[in-house]
Chain A
Amino acid sequence: MGGAASLSSTPLLGRAAQANPDQPAPQPQDDGDPAHYKPTFFNQEEYLFLYHACERLFPQDENGPGAQALGVPRFIDKQMNTPYGLGALWYMQAPFVEGPPELGYQLPYTPRDLYRGAITPINTHCLIRYNALFAALPPEQQDNVLHALESNTLRFNDIPGAAFFEQLRTNTLEGAFSDPAYGGNHNMEGWKMMGFPGARADFMDWINQEGAPYPFGPVGMPPKANPYSPAFQNDEEG
């Protein structure tokens, strides 16, 4: 869990945060850094790929921390052990037939399958093409690989590059902005960047303040609500 959900919220003047982007982002601990985080689903090589690919999609910059500092790779690793990761939320009956994109996802692969099936071949591709694993490439080359995936010019083990890319992008954004209890959005830094107040859910005084910034920092779910506990997930599976 990382116990990242913080109970106390951090007062933050939205305007001030907006105006002072130079303020250094706090350096979080236990952020899912491969040096000390032990993944539960991914192997080390896969996790290293994830760790660097996410950061390219959502990089640290003047707006604030990127996917690595937010714990996004850790979030994705944890999600692989949920009904979602196992594909239990999707209709997965055969036959699987390719069709026009408008008719939606038609692959026989669960989120786990997509990651497991694509990461190693992408690394192999990087080795052949650039003589290094994805994680070791300079950012520009990493971006080239990601663009090739996004535009579907790369395809591995019957997994279209675009399908993998969309999976990765979707999960990266989820990890950046979901409650810290899930393992990402470390210290609610993702929410602070957006100016989102989290789980406070009371805007009676703020329905219309004529465009003034909302003044309160975010608040997380209760620290003991472990969303990876079976009790929490039961109703998700139905």
Chain B
Amino acid sequence: MTSLFSRSSSKTLSSALRPLLMAGLGLLGLAGAALPTRTAQAADAPLPAGLIEEGHYQAILGDCAACHSQPGRPPYSGGMPFKLPIGTIYSTNISPDPVHGIGRYTEAEFARAVQLGIRKDGSALYPAMPYPSYARLSKADIHALYVYFQRGVTPQPVDPPANGIIWPLSMRWPLHIWRWLFSPSIQSAQHSTNNQFSDPVLARGAYLVEGPGHCGACHSPRSIALNEKAQTAKDGPLFLSGGGVVEQWVVPSLRQENRTGLGRWSEQDIVDFLRTGRARTGASFGGMSPVIVHSAHAFKDDDLHAIARYLMQLAPARKETPWVYDPTTAEKLRHADLSQPGAQIYVDRCAACHRTDGAGYGSVFPPLAGNPVVMTDDATSLIHIILAGDSTHALHTTPSAFAMPSFADTLSDKEIADVVSFIRQSWGNNSKGVKEGAVRRIRKNLPQLETPAQLPKN
């Protein structure tokens, strides 16, 4: 429960925020194309061994591909659509093409764009580009990243589809004010992140989470002006205490709340989750899955452990009575007592994978008993995944993927509301129930379901 915002306002702001923020990406590449200056590519100069690989790793840590690589288009050529009320805009080409990409950026210009949100032409980026986080990147990492984007990526001489934003909505100057108000300077950003911990592992964890990983972009609450209300562990318990609702997925807390945070996750659980998208305690779904697929699964082992260790020392933002498994529901179901509303649906359609005791099956079918994403105050995620289904993803860290079917055609709004309430109030879970109307609203805005061709092959 945040003290500063009601749930609903936070949700509205956050869902509006994501597309708005993404709009900034559309402008970065255009700037590069619009202002032909000298090329920044110092081609053919010999590079220190391993620098390109290091830069590639930095691009994975920062998850650049998430927004700048779109399936069906060349890598880093942009083109990911963001539908806004003011028109559709597209992420830009950040390959080193001198005309269509960022081939003419000098390293200093590149750093200024990535870390301060200022384009080559001096205008400001929308804060979708998480430059308040990237400001924390070390000079060495920025250098590696720059070298990678100039020398390790193939130039793609293609433009993303043309944007359609109409003046005055396309004005960017107010962003400077935002930037001036909320975006830290590189020095202050690096100072606040780098000096929190003497333990080198925790320090590395802080750097990764607060810097390139930009976890707070989704997992920290935003203020009315859309800035993250806390950007580092030092900023207090709002940091990573859970964001709003993005694309009908609730962004949960990464702090140590016992029920709705990571309070009962071990270091290994967090590492497993980031590396494979699945753990004993829960599986990735919704908006987190692309982060695992494009980015986190490829983190080095030490980095994953550093992230886990760092997250585990973030004190809870809310006090919650510890979750304790309650066997009552399982006992009732085992003895064919279906009197609880939703119990029949659960036994007929859910228990096959998640079990009557709600424990699921290890990292294959996630538990519902005690799972923090089940107990968040807002039940949107649970309703959404029952309606839409979802899949984990095949990765080199885990070649198998598992699909949960959509129940949109199988269950009515009332039945989903009942079974969601049942799940949220069984096995020691103690969250409030949901009403039919909530299901109806989410169903109305359901995205396109996965087609058979998109489903896992195993």
Interface residues of A (CB under 8 A from B): 7-9, 11, 13, 200-202, 204-205, 215-216, 219, 222-225
Q: 10 shortest A-B CB distances, which residue pairs?
A: A215-B336, A202-B352, A222-B410, A224-B409, A219-B348, A205-B334, A202-B351, A9-B348, A201-B352, A222-B409
Given contacts A201-B352, A202-B352, A216-B347, 5 further A-B contacts (CB under 8 A): A13-B336, A202-B347, A216-B338, A222-B409, A225-B409
Contact of B344 with A by CB under 8 A: yes
In the bound complex, residues from chain B placing their C-beta under 8 Å from that of A8 are 344-345, 348
B176 at the interface (CB under 8 A from A): no
B: residues with CB less than 8 A from A are 333-336, 338, 344-345, 347-349, 351-352, 355-356, 407, 409-412, 415
Q: Could you tell me the distance between the alpha carbons of A223 and B335 in the complex, rounded to whole angstroms?
A: 28
Q: Is the CB–CB distance between A205 and B344 below 8 Å?
A: no
Give CA–CA (A53, B335) in the complex, Å. 42
Contact of A200 among B334, B347, B409 (CB under 8 A): B347
CA distance A215 to B336 in the complex (A): 6
Q: Are A7 and B411 closer than 8 Å at their CB atoms?
A: yes
Q: A7-B410, A224-B410 are in contact. Are A204 and B348 (CB under 8 A)?
A: no
Q: Is chain A's binding surface mostly helix, strand, loop or mixed?
A: loop
Q: How far apart are the CA atoms of A205 and B331 in the complex, in Å? A: 10
Chain A residues with CB under 8 Å of B334's CB are 205
A4: shortest Cβ distance to chain B, in Å? 15
Which residue in chain B gives the minimum CB-CB distance to A201? B352
B352 contacts A205, C-beta separation under 8 Å: no
Contact across chains for A204 and B344 when beta carbons are under 8 A apart: no
Q: A7-B411, A222-B410 are in contact. Are A200 and B348 (CB under 8 A)?
A: yes
Q: Are B410 and A216 in contact (CB under 8 A)?
A: no
Beta-carbon nearest neighbor of A218 in chain B: B348
Bound CA–CA A215/B337 (angstroms): 9
**Residue A204 contacts which of B338, B349, B356, B412 (CB distance < 8 angstroms)?**
B356
Closest to B335 in A: A215
A residues within 8 A CB of B356? 204-205
In the assembled complex, the Cα of A179 lies from the Cα of B334 at a distance in Å of 25
Residue of A nearest to B353 (CB): A202
The contact sample of 18 A-B pairs, CB cut-off 8 A, is A7-B410, A7-B411, A7-B412, A7-B415, A8-B348, A11-B336, A11-B344, A200-B352, A201-B352, A202-B347, A204-B355, A205-B333, A205-B334, A205-B356, A216-B336, A216-B338, A219-B349, A224-B409
- Chain A residues with Cβ below 8 Å from B412 are 7
In the complex, which residues of chain B have a beta carbon less than 8 angstroms from the beta carbon of A11?
A: 336, 338, 344
Residue of B whose beta carbon sits closest to that of A220: B348
Residues of A within 8 Å of B349, CB to CB, are 219
| Contact call A9/B344, Cβ cutoff below 8 A | yes
Alpha-carbon separation in the docked complex, A216 to B410 (Å) = 19
Rounded to whole angstroms, the CA-CA distance of A7 and B347 in the bound complex is: 12
- The CA-CA distance from A204 to B354 in the complex, in Å, is 11
In the bound complex, CA of A224 to CA of B345 (Å): 17
Q: Is the CB of B410 within 8 A of A223?
A: yes
Determine the chain A residues whose CB is within 8 A of the CB of B338 once the complex forms. Answer: 11, 216
- Closest approach, in angstroms, between the C-beta of B347 and any C-beta of chain A? 7
Residue among A202, A204, A215 having the largest count of chain B Cβ atoms under 10 Å: A202
How far in angstroms is the closest Cβ of chain A from B362? Answer: 14
Minimum Cβ distance to chain B for residue A13 (Å) = 8
* Chain A residues in 8 Å Cβ range of B335: 215
A201 / chain B contacts, CB cutoff of 8 Å? 352
> Given the complex of chains A and B, what is the CA–CA distance between A201 and B348 in angstroms?
8
Nearest chain A residue, comparing its CB with the CB of B339: A11
Q: Note all chain A residues with C-beta closer than 8 A to B351.
A: 202, 204
Q: B333 — which chain A residues lie within 8 A by C-beta?
A: 205
A195 to B348, CA, bound (A): 16
In the assembled complex, how far is the CB of residue A2 from the closest CB belonging to chain B, in whole angstroms? 17
**A215 → chain B closest CB, angstroms:** 3
Q: In the complex, which of the residues A8, A224, A225 has the most CB atoms of chain B within 10 Å of its own CB atom?
A: A8
B355: A residues at CB distance < 8 A: 204
Smallest CB separation, A162 vs chain B (Å)? 41
A221's nearest neighbour on chain B, judged by CB, is B410
**A33, chain B: closest CB distance, angstroms:** 29
A9: chain B residues at CB < 8 Å are 344, 348
Query: What is the bound-complex CA distance between A49 and B301, given in angstroms?
Result: 72
Give the distance in Å from the alpha carbon of A129 to the alpha carbon of B335 in the complex. Answer: 58
Point out the residues of chain A lying under 8 angstroms from B410, CB to CB: 7, 222-224
Least distance between A176 CB and chain B CB atoms (Å): 22
Nearest CB in chain A to that of B336: its residue: A215
Chain A residue nearest to B361 (CB atoms) is A204
CB proximity of B332 to chain A, nearest CB, Å? 11
Q: How far does the Cβ of B419 sit from chain A's closest Cβ, in whole Å?
A: 12
**Which residues of the other chain, B, contact A204 by a CB distance below 8 angstroms?**
351, 355-356
Chain A residue with minimal CB distance to B333?
A: A205
A13–B336 Cα distance when bound, in Å, is 9
The residues of B that contact A219 with a CB separation of less than 8 Å are 348-349
A205 to B352, CA, bound (A): 10
* Residues on the B chain within 8 Å of A205, using CB: 333-334, 356
Report chain A residues within 8 Å CB of B411. 7
B345 neighbours in A (Cβ, 8 Å): 8
Q: How many Å from the CB of A113 to the closest CB on chain B? A: 34
Q: How far is the CB of A216 from chain B (nearest CB, A)?
A: 6
Complex contacts, A224 vs chain B, CB 8 Å: 409-410
Question: Nearest Cβ in chain A — how far from B370, in angstroms?
Answer: 19
Shortest Cβ gap from A220 to chain B (Å): 9
For residue A67, give the distance in angstroms from its CB to the closest CB of chain B. 27
Question: For the complex, what is the distance from the CA of A224 to the CA of B349, rounded to whole Å?
Answer: 15
Cα distance, A8 to B338, chains bound together (Å): 12
| Bound complex: CA A9 to CA B348 (Å) | 8
Residues of the B chain whose Cβ atoms lie less than 8 Å from the Cβ of A225: 409
Query: Within 8 Å CB of A200, what residues of B?
Result: 347-348, 352
CB-CB < 8 A to B409: which residues of A?
Answer: 222-225
